[in-house]
């Protein structure tokens, strides 16, 4: 009927701006709305030939956390909408005056030179792979692990010779199922502040790939701040302290937990004995549970007899409080 014809035409026009090479795409995880819609509509071939908008060198990689590929952008405007109406930052817009419309940042500057606040909501809402976390690149696609000089020619070849989409989708769904066995998705609550934003953390082995909020999250829906969306690189940092440290002769050295706790207990006892209980204070953390915070204040008040107990959230957020 007429409605079906118009819907088909609209989808064909979208695919004119996007090449469905799902078998090697790092976004092939069941969340690609373009893939899912094309499969639902039983589209076999692109009616209008795909032509890249820009040279591959113009893919914007300037931002530290995500990249934008105009050649895969379907100009749906969802990223613009969340930037303008949800984050209310108004950094993103679509350049409709261009011969091939595309998303731009602050009238056309590089992402890292723009007013982007790195909330990551545009990356979360993107229905395809135009906006992607850099940490996902080369981690989730087919034949992951191959060196770029080997993988890239294979990707180009697959783009050129893939048959009708039904075959591509069948292969990509097998690959996506295999990927699910390699990638773990864990629901959790952000520990950076007390708002209680929830999301899924995608991991591969012990490596975090990305944070993915969803619209059904009770507190934040798809909203994130830069800390919640991208501030987890410390987890896999080689600079993390993995063992207790105590100071000996002015230098920190590794120790056992038993030795370190004995040093802390003896030092705190000596300070209390010499200077009184008011000389001791405790600073708790917003990154631990309410129950752990309760135990810390109990330690301060009942064991050491001091009410000098604070939490890092208070002074971390105090500049924002003053601003408000």
The CA-based angle 288-290-296, given to 5 degrees, is 75
Residue-wise burial string across 56-72, b where 16 or more C-beta atoms lie within 10 A, e elsewhere: eeeebbebebbbbbbbb
Judged against a pLDDT cut of 60, whether residue 162 lies above it is answered with no
Tell me the three-class secondary structure of 32-47, residue by residue: CHHHHHHHHCCCCCCC
What would the mean pLDDT of 229-239 be, rounded to a whole number?
A: 90
Alpha-carbon torsion angle 8, 9, 10, 15, nearest 10: 90
Cα–Cα distances in angstroms (integers) from residue 250 to residues 38, 243, 247, 254, 269, in the given order: 65, 18, 6, 13, 21
Judged against a pLDDT cut of 90, whether residue 65 lies above it is answered with yes
User: How many CB atoms are located within 10 Å of the residue 85 CB?
Assistant: 9
Cα–Cα distances in angstroms (integers) from residue 155 to residues 28, 35, 81, 214, in the given order: 14, 17, 32, 30
Give the pLDDT confidence score for residue 29 in this predicted structure.
Answer: 61
Q: Which residues contact 225 (CB under 8 A, 6 or more apart)?
A: 119, 192
Roughly how many angstroms between the first and final C-alpha of the chain, as a whole number? 55
Judged against a pLDDT cut of 80, whether residue 178 lies above it is answered with no
Cα–Cα distances in angstroms (integers) from residue 130 to residues 123, 192, 202, in the given order: 8, 28, 19
What would the mean pLDDT of 221-225 be, rounded to a whole number?
A: 93
- Please report the domains of the chain, with CATH numbers, ordered by start residue: 2-182 (3.30.70.20), 245-317 (no CATH)
Element (H, E) at 315: helix 312-323
User: How many CB atoms are located within 10 Å of the residue 239 CB?
Assistant: 5
Q: What is the pLDDT of residues 250-280, one digit of tens each?
A: 999 999 999 999 999 999 999 999 999 999 9
> 28: pLDDT confidence band, cut at 50, 70 and 90?
low
State phi, psi for 45 to the nearest 5 degrees. Answer: -140, 155
Q: What is the pLDDT of residues 87-144, one digit of tens each?
A: 999 999 999 999 889 999 998 999 999 999 999 999 999 998 899 999 988 776 666 5
């Amino acid at each position: 009927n007429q409605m079906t014809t118009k819907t088909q035409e609209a989808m064909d026009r979208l695919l004119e701006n996007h090449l469905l090479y799902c078998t090697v795409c790092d976004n092939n995880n069941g969340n690609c709305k373009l893939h899912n819609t094309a499969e639902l509509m039983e589209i076999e071939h692109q009616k209008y030939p795909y032509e890249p908008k820009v040279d591959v060198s113009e893919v914007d990689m300037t931002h530290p956390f995500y990249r934008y590929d105009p050649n895969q952008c379907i100009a749906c405007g969802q990223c613009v909408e969340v930037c303008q109406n949800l984050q209310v930052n108004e950094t993103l817009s679509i350049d409709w005056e261009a011969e091939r419309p595309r998303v731009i940042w602050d009238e056309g500057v590089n992402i890292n030179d723009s007013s982007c606040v790195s909330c990551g909501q545009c990356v979360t809402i993107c229905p395809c792979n135009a906006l992607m976390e850099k940490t996902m690149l080369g981690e989730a696609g087919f034949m992951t692990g191959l060196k770029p000089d080997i993988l890239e020619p294979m990707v180009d070849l697959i783009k050129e010779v893939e048959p009708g989409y039904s075959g591509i989708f069948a292969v990509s769904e097998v690959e996506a199922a295999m990927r699910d066995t390699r990638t773990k998705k864990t629901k959790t609550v952000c520990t950076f502040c007390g708002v209680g934003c929830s999301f899924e953390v995608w991991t591969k082995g012990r490596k975090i790939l990305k944070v993915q909020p969803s619209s059904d999250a009770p507190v934040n829906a798809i909203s994130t701040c830069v800390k919640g969306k991208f501030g987890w690189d410390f987890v896999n940092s080689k600079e993390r302290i993995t063992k207790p440290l105590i100071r000996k002769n002015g230098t920190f050295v590794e120790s056992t937990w038993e030795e370190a706790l004995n040093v802390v207990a003896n030092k705190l006892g000596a300070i209390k004995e010499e200077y009184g209980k008011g000389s001791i204070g405790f600073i708790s953390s917003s990154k631990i549970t309410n129950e752990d915070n309760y135990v810390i204040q109990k330690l301060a008040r009942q064991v050491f007899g001091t009410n000098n107990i604070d939490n890092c959230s208070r002074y971390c957020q105090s500049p924002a409080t003053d601003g408000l």
